[in-house]
Amino acid sequence: MARESGKKRMTESGLPIEPVYGPDSLGDWDADEKLGEPGSYPFTRGVYPTMYTGRPWTMRQYAGFGTAVESNARYKQLIANGTMGLSVAFDLPTQMGHDSDAPIASGEVGKVGVAIDSIEDMRILFGGIPLDKVSTSMTINAPGALLLLLYQLVGEEQGVPAEKLTGTIQNDVLKEYIARGTYIFPPKPSLRLIADIFKYCKAEIPKWNTISISGYHMAEAGASPAQEIAFTLADGIEYVRTAVAAGMDVDDFAPRLSFFFVARTTILEEVAKFRAARRIWARVMKEEFGAKNPKSLMLRFHTQTAGVQLTAQQPEVNLVRVAVQGLGAVLGGTQSLHTNSFDEAIALPTDKSARLALRTQQVLAYETDVTYTVDPFAGSYVVESMTDEVEAAALELMRKVEDMGGAVSAIERGFQKSEIERSAYRIAQETDSGERVVVGVNRFQLDEEEPYEPLRVDPAIEAQQAERLAKLRAERDQDAVDAALAEMRAAAEGTDNVLYPMKKALAAKATVGEVCNTLREVWGAYVPTDAF
């Protein structure tokens, strides 16, 4: 939300917003250098020449809760309602590489996503869903390799060859150290695992997007738009350097990189942010890494509307917020979009609220005229000026990261985390003082909130998953599991790609926790440092 500081209005990034913009706002401005044509370098105007005039963005609803059975039913409902791609939410134990019956998982099984312990859960999760026709995004990071391999195994059981599988694993562990906290291993072995995933997918699953470099979670933690793209692109640079250092040619993997950003209610700055991010990335890939393939220069991204801006007070107002945020993402040129459900600030979305969230995208795509022309804001004095300003602010932050030795070194010093925390503190102060208006929270409140019955996860799920695990361990070939885990351990201790023996272990019914624990024994577990 734009806020007023005295008489001067400021953007979310702390940049001034002028009451009137004109040609002088752009200064000495070269349109060819700054803009180009849609689908052409530096991709400010969008990564494809036709954008949505040929087809709309992918409507990819993020969902997953409880057991694989429940999540499978939700996916089938979303597909029936017109969802064009699935996006899987995993529960916290799965994200942290723990089995549902591990003591540390107690109380968290199935709560913020679906519980996946083994190939048997993955079979159920995608049962009756043709993996050669559906694109699937999985929000999984430290154990991203495991979930990708489980997906591949289920596809093979369906008769779908790996080269036909399409989708994305988030696989962005660096942002976990900065903002989210679901890390497992220290940065160096985590980066090694990501390089192994890049190599594996190039050889085995060529259409898969191997990483979704995420600024969304940084924004949810309080990052400004400039911080969001600066720290995200700095992480992207680190991943590219890691892959190149591992012997890969940049054009062999860069076309499969993708990004993930937030869309806030501040439409103008969000559009400027997306345009600036595309321009920065194109130049970095061309000038620093010498990429030749135009697809290596394209910053393709998924967007999710801003969950952090949703309120438990007067939750139906979130329908308006989500529509505005979704519009900003579309005007900014996103490739796929998840619109949050209005009740997510209270609990898991109900079937009805999830359907309304999807209908919001469908109204934007089919009832407005924003899909009739490519890049509707091109040439807008305010948007072009704000794009330049956000770009300059982001580049300055990226230079600071570089001066510290790159993203990993800056993470180890706590730089990004500290910067984001300062931004979050500023936002909290402005909200508490009333300078930042949040409708229904600090202005336009109701004397009494209307009752709302949220969706609840059955606490019996934890016991059910434990029973399934006990049965699986009793019935599987333990010698085959032990042999595969030993082979994976040897690969982790050496330089061989760990994904090939990891796939054998998962196919033999090794659990997510067993695989991750084996790697923990070799690589250790990450312990965060104090802030910068």
Distance, CA of 456 to CA of 348 (rounded, Å): 7
What pairing do the DSSP bridges indicate for beta strands 8-10 and 3-5? antiparallel
Compute the mean pLDDT over every residue in the chain, rounded to the nearest whole number: 94
Phi then psi for residue 3, to 5 deg, are: -135, 160
Q: Tell me, what's the pLDDT at 7?
A: 61
Residues 515-519, mean pLDDT to the nearest whole number: 98
Cβ proximity of 474 and 124 under 8 Å: no
Q: Tell me, what's the pLDDT at 2?
A: 52
Angle at 460 (CA atoms; ends 459, 465), nearest 5 degrees: 115
Q: Name residue 529's amino acid.
A: T
Distance, CA of 259 to CA of 406 (rounded, Å): 19
Distance, CA of 147 to CA of 145 (rounded, Å): 6
Distance, CA of 138 to CA of 62 (rounded, Å): 9
Q: What is the DSSP string of 333-382?
A: T-SEEEPPPTTTTTSBPPHHHHHHHHHHHHHHHHTSSTTSSS-TTTT-HH
Is residue 408 pLDDT above 90, yes or no? yes
The SS3 call for residue 281 is helix
What pairing do the DSSP bridges indicate for beta strands 58-63 and 301-305? unpaired
Answer yes or no: is 519 within a domain.
no
Residues 360-377, mean pLDDT to the nearest whole number: 97
Residues 36-57, mean pLDDT to the nearest whole number: 96
Total structural domains within the chain:
1
Is residue 418 pLDDT above 70, yes or no? yes
Cβ proximity of 154 and 182 under 8 Å: no
Q: What is the DSSP string of 229-260?
A: HHHHHHHHHHHHHHHHHTT--HHHHGGGEEEE
Cβ proximity of 385 and 391 under 8 Å: no
Q: Tell me, what's the pLDDT at 115?
A: 96
pTM: 0.93
Distance, CA of 517 to CA of 513 (rounded, Å): 6
Distance, CA of 39 to CA of 45 (rounded, Å): 7
Answer yes or no: is 366 within a domain.
yes
Is residue 5 pLDDT above 90, yes or no? no
Print the domain residue range for 384: 3-433
Of the pLDDT bands very low, low, confident and very high (cuts 50, 70, 90), residue 530 is low
Give 502's DSSP letter.
H
Distance, CA of 392 to CA of 220 (rounded, Å): 22
Residues 72-92, mean pLDDT to the nearest whole number: 91
Q: Tell me, what's the pLDDT at 532?
A: 43
Distance, CA of 469 to CA of 466 (rounded, Å): 5
Answer yes or no: is 467 within a domain.
no
Of the pLDDT bands very low, low, confident and very high (cuts 50, 70, 90), residue 1 is low
Q: Which residues contact 367 (CB under 8 A, 6 or more apart)?
A: none
Of the pLDDT bands very low, low, confident and very high (cuts 50, 70, 90), residue 159 is very high
Residues 248-269, mean pLDDT to the nearest whole number: 97
> Which residue, chain included where needed, has tokens 């995004």?
137
Distance, CA of 275 to CA of 45 (rounded, Å): 7
CATH code assigned at 218: 3.20.20.240
Residues 349-372, mean pLDDT to the nearest whole number: 95
Residues 312-325 pLDDT 10s: 999 999 999 999 99
Q: Tell me, what's the pLDDT at 64?
A: 86
* Token output for 452: 């709302």
Preceding amide of 16 cis, omega within 30 = no
> Which residue, chain included where needed, has tokens 């289920």?
154
Of the pLDDT bands very low, low, confident and very high (cuts 50, 70, 90), residue 450 is confident
Residues 340-369, mean pLDDT to the nearest whole number: 94
Q: Lowest-pLDDT range, 13-27, 225-239, 250-264?
A: 13-27
Distance, CA of 214 to CA of 232 (rounded, Å): 6
Of the pLDDT bands very low, low, confident and very high (cuts 50, 70, 90), residue 452 is confident
Is residue 36 pLDDT above 50, yes or no? yes
Of the pLDDT bands very low, low, confident and very high (cuts 50, 70, 90), residue 492 is very high
Residues 203-207, mean pLDDT to the nearest whole number: 97
Q: Tell me, what's the pLDDT at 3?
A: 57
Distance, CA of 333 to CA of 52 (rounded, Å): 9
Of the pLDDT bands very low, low, confident and very high (cuts 50, 70, 90), residue 528 is confident
Answer yes or no: is 365 within a domain.
yes
